[in-house]
Amino acid sequence: PHNSFTLQVLCRYRHIWNIDLRFRPAFLGGIMQQTGNKPPAMLPKRGEYMLKDMKRMAKYYQVPVHMSANDFQRIIGTSSLTAMRFITAMDMTNPQYLEPLSREFWIRFWSQHEDISQPEDILTVARQAGLSAELSQKTLEMISSSTVKDRLKETTAEAVKHGAFGMPAVVAHYDGKPHLFFGSDRLELLGSVIGE
């Protein structure tokens, strides 16, 4: 859910802060594997804290998140690889759909508690994001291509190179150098670094 808090806030502040916001699809599973990280909820006490924290953040950011302890298993057991390849293919062909697609994937998985791993789920999300059936089908057919797979691997490796060890990872290119921020609770620091 922290990805959504970050997405919502950056979209809200994009024009206020006058930033060029670019979505870069990366595969969380790959980042976790490459850095040796583990889902935070695997530590029971941290899982308890996260549930409380998400409720507070949902209220603060006015984002519709509903979670219980049972949801952690659902999250860990769902692969986002197909969805991320679909988003990557869209980034390569029609990047204007990245923002609505990201929002709709989030709403389906976190707010409606529906699956996002199967082709039919992806086509439903695409329709809700405003894509035509033809474009959705064409994009879905691209996800098994080596071009799309390689592109997702590249953006994932790039995130790790910038120091990412999980999501959300925001890289601000400011004053000639990149600044990595992890987590939605670091957005105030991001604002501070860019003078906002």
How high is the mean pLDDT of the chain? 91
Give this prediction's pTM. 0.87
Q: What is the CATH number for 142?
A: 3.40.30.10
Q: What confidence tens digit (pLDDT) does each residue in 29-44 have?
A: 999 999 999 988 888 8
Return the pLDDT at 161: 97
Closest CA to 171 of 59, 40, 6: 6
Domain count for the chain: 1
* Residue type at 122 in one-letter notation: I
Map tokens 């599973």 to a residue: 29
Q: Cα separations (Å) of 35 from 84, 111, 161?
A: 19, 29, 10
Q: How confident is the model at residue 142 (pLDDT cuts 50, 70, 90)?
A: very high
Range of the domain at 184: 1-194
Whether the predicted pLDDT of 58 surpasses 90: no
CB 122 within 8 A of CB 83: yes
Return the pLDDT at 153: 97
Return the pLDDT at 111: 82
Closest CA to 86 of 123, 49, 34: 123
